[in-house]
Amino acid sequence: MVLTIPKIDKIGFIGGNIHIDNKEGVVVPFKFNKVQRYFHTHKGYRNIVLKARQVGCSSSILADMFTDCITIPHTYTAVVSHETKATQRLLDRVQFYYDTMEEPKPALGAESRSEKTFPGLHSSIYIGTAGARAFGRGDTIRKALLSEIAFYEDGEKLLSGVEDAVPLTGELTLESTANGENNVFHEKWVQAKERRSPYKPFFFPWWLDDGYAIPRNPTDPKIEELLMPGDIGELTYTDEELDILSRVKLTEDQIRWRRFKINEKKGLFWIEYPENEVDCFIITGDPVFDQQFLSDMTNSCYDGQRHEKGWYFWVPPREKASYVIGADTSPGAPEGSYSAAVVLDAMWNVCATFQGRLEPHTFAGLLKELGKWYNNAELVVERNFTGYAVLEQLTNYGNIYYQRDFTTGKITTQRGWWTNSQTRDLMLTVAKEKLAQVHIWDINLVRQLRSYRYIKMRNKYRETAQTYDDLAMALMMAMVVRKTAGVGLGYRGQIPY
């Protein structure tokens, strides 16, 4: 038997035909919560989800796959989990969906340890543990979910096989809580946020789950016993809580739950119940820049407005304002590093940024347009390696930075910024000194600054980025020049100061 449902009413079909046992163990119709509904109405063909624990993503994706398998012939789907227990729970959940459906429903095939089949429709759901099966060219999967992929031992290899098995119009979702930065999930997340991958990113903080709340006067005395004395009754908010409330509309009941969970989980709270998409990725090594400051900055980040030429901006040009643009160059190879530019004004606002794989002549053209837009801004182009090629294309741009001898203060005849151990140390020193004055709204730039850690190399520690740092390098060049040149020089034409 083939059931048919209108494509736009799948959420309604699931709510009317499929049941689930909720967090209290009560069997209820599967009505999507706000996280589930948002994801299913905004998802694309490639999705990546960074989430708090138990907000229901995997359950709703599984229900969506199950619905396809019982309504669309020749539908093959796959779910991979990180551990055997989680895999078994997913298998049991599919069986529960089927068992609680009313007739008519398609016949279920013979029991399998890792697969639910519907022979009359030639459809199936494979559910297995990471590493239990290799996916590849022989498979064609219409929908796939890699659940908690950050915890896979060899996630990159498995993902590569699944990506080959899911066609362009198929649907692949990577979903996980954070597990540090040394894994394929973090890599894919950063790429998606930097708009350099086909994956559409979704971030779901804990407060989107209405169940994460404790009332002022719990009806269950056992719950009241779990709370600290100051958390019973009306709350007096801490400065840190007031800061959160200034950015996010939370109820007193949510703050009370937050206090309980922080007391229970300690530092793990911000990993398993993230409040922003940066702090949850904890990495090793001591941070170079103030992490609390960067965390506060992260909470203020938002997507900039895209200019038709390709950069993103938060503060448009102001008449007679002075701007410095730091530029980090690259060859533009498909799998190589990135060219990046950061626009800094006299008030230390990061007004605009650009990041992309562009060949030197193309990047030079973009820098010209960006510089002209920002009142003929001073271009500080790193001349190492491909920087020479970029500078060659900028001979007719009148406001190019000339290297300064930072010992004598004299201006040299060399155009562009030369990065060596001495100038790199200067950049990091100025960045640490002035960062508190800088206003950044680009989450990718904040992430790169956060990735700088003190790593021991031979007999000394060195500030080392743990990910791409092109935007950070561009910013630090601009910061040094801004600090050194001051704010009153303005446009200087072709003559170096």
Q: Are residues 476 and 347 in the same domain?
A: yes
Last residue of a domain, one of 204, 224, 248: 204
Instruction: At 171, list the tokens.
Output: 């649907």
Both 51 and 153 in one domain: the answer is yes
Report yes or no: 118 and 77 within 8 Å, Cβ to Cβ.
Answer: no
* Domain-located, residue 368: yes
How many percent of the chain have pLDDT more than 90? 64
Statement: residue 139 has pLDDT above 90: no
- Taking the chain, what is the end-to-end CA distance rounded to the nearest angstrom? 81
**Does the structure show a pLDDT above 60 at 2?**
no
Query: What's the pLDDT score for residue 421?
Result: 85
Give the pair of three-digit tokens for residue 13: 């079909």
Q: What is the mean pLDDT of residues 67-94?
A: 92
pLDDT at 124 over 50: yes
CATH number of the CATH domain containing 338: 3.30.420.240
Is residue 273 a part of any domain in this protein?
no
Here the CATH number for the domain that contains residue 73 is 3.40.50.300
86 C-beta neighbours (distance < 10 Å), count:
19
Q: 471 in a domain, yes or no?
A: yes
The angle at the Cα of 481, spanning 478 to 483, to the nearest 5 degrees, equals 105
Strand order in the sheet with 286-287: 286-287, 452-457, 460-465
Tell me how far CA of residue 219 lies from CA of 223, 256, 345, 371, 479, in angstroms: 8, 15, 56, 63, 56
Residue 407 lies in a domain: yes
- When pLDDT is cut at 50, 70 and 90, the band that residue 456 belongs to is low
pLDDT band at 497 (very low <50, low <70, confident <90, very high): very low
- Supply the pLDDT for residue 217: 82
The Cα–Cα gap between 431 and 449 comes to 10
Confidence at residue 464, expressed as pLDDT on a 0 to 100 scale:
80
Domain that holds residue 87: 7-204
32 in a structural domain: yes
Question: With 80 as the cut, is the pLDDT of residue 459 above it?
Answer: no
The tally of domains found in the chain comes to 2
- Helices 34-42 and 57-71 cross at an angle (nearest 10°) of 50
Which residue has better confidence, 281 or 481?
481
Closest residue by Cα to residue 190 from 439, 441, 443: 443
Residue 268 pLDDT level (bands cut at 50, 70, 90): confident
Find the angle CA(72)-CA(77)-CA(78) to the nearest 5 degrees: 165
Closest by CA to 200, choosing from 37, 46, 355, is 46
Q: Is 310 found in the same domain as 429?
A: yes
Q: Where residue 6 falls among pLDDT bands split at 50, 70, 90?
A: low
Task: Tell whether 475 is covered by a domain.
Answer: yes
Q: Strands across the sheet with 323-328, in order?
A: 305-306, 312-313, 350-356, 339-345, 323-328, 378-381
